[in-house]
Amino acid sequence: MSRPSPLITVMIKAARAAGRGLARDFGEVENLQVSKKGPGDFVTNADHRAEEVIYAELSKARPGYGFIMEERGVVEGTDKTNRFIVDPLDGTLNFMHGIPHFAVSIGHVREGVLNAGVVYDVIRGDIYWAERGQGTWLENRRLRVASRIKLSQAVLATGTPFIGHSPERHKKFSDEMAALTPETTGIRRFGSAALDLAFVAAGRFDGFWERHLKSWDIAAGIVLVREAGGVVEEIDGGDVLETGNVLAANPSLTPKIRSKLKSV
């Protein structure tokens, strides 16, 4: 069994601390004050509180590190080689509607390379963590991506464009679904990209794709999948953290899924 490094340990501590507040707020979602950031994209007081907890914990443990945070934005640090990428509440819409499927996601970049990731499934209490060269773990259990090689046996996950996105984006998604649905065992939409990627790393989903995500949605999950033996690529060949067009699966299924997406 691999023991979490000091870096992973402080990331887990921060995720758990934020998760405790989210779990409390989740029981009182009807009383939360809600503001609207944009069509279909909501932010709650819980988001802000969780992010402040993470920022305080990580800043204390790793002073000087920079941050990219969903609510706070970019925080430049004195240490230019290290940066955390934080989503305090991935699956906000689920949270708002009382659906118990959301996560805290913390990624770490060292010298421009994704180095570590922690995804905390708040309701289930599961901590997924990974660090370059150390594998991917659910608590103290080593994880590996699924070994299926036939698309016809695969269960995939994806995310759906919501209200406010362009008609072109909705049509693109519909066309991709039409191309993949007849070829797979099933396609699921759970509403948290961080947990979708964690589930790929755990072998629960055989693959995941989605377009136009943010870096904080996927940074930690990318490390989880790669360290579990999977492949994470940009769908069209660009920089996945910049475009947010992510495709994750095992090495056998990745080109088959990409081929179907490219056929659209």
Cα(142)–Cα(135) distance, rounded to whole angstroms? Answer: 7
Predicted confidence (pLDDT) at residue 37 exceeds the cutoff of 70: no
Q: 151-262 maps to which CATH number?
A: 3.40.190.80
Distance CA 217, CA 143 (A): 21
Question: According to CATH, where is 3.30.540.10 located in the chain?
Answer: 6-143
SS3 label, residue 149: coil
Q: How far is CA 200 from CA 110, 130, 141, 213, in A?
A: 24, 13, 15, 17
What is the share, in percent, of the chain residues with pLDDT greater than 70?
94
Looking at residue 259, its pLDDT comes to 96
Q: Where in the chain is the domain with CATH 3.40.190.80?
A: 151-262
- In this prediction, residue 36 has a pLDDT band, given cuts at 50, 70 and 90, of low
Locate tokens 């209490």: which residue?
A: 125
**Residues with Cβ < 8 Å from 246, sequence gap 6 or more?**
193, 197, 208, 209, 210, 211, 213, 218, 222, 232, 233, 234, 235, 240
> Rounded to whole angstroms, how far apart are CA atoms 203 and 148?
9
**According to the 3-state scheme, what is the secondary structure of 222-257?**
HHHHHHCCCEEEECCCCCHHHHCCEEEECCCHHHHH
Model confidence band, residue 104 (pLDDT cutoffs 50, 70, 90) = very high
Model pTM above 0.75: yes
Q: Quick: pLDDT tens for 41-59.
A: 566 788 999 999 999 999 9
Which option is the CATH number for 6-143: 3.30.200.20, 3.30.540.10, 3.30.413.10, 3.40.50.1970? 3.30.540.10
Cα distance between residue 151 and residue 22, in whole Å:
37
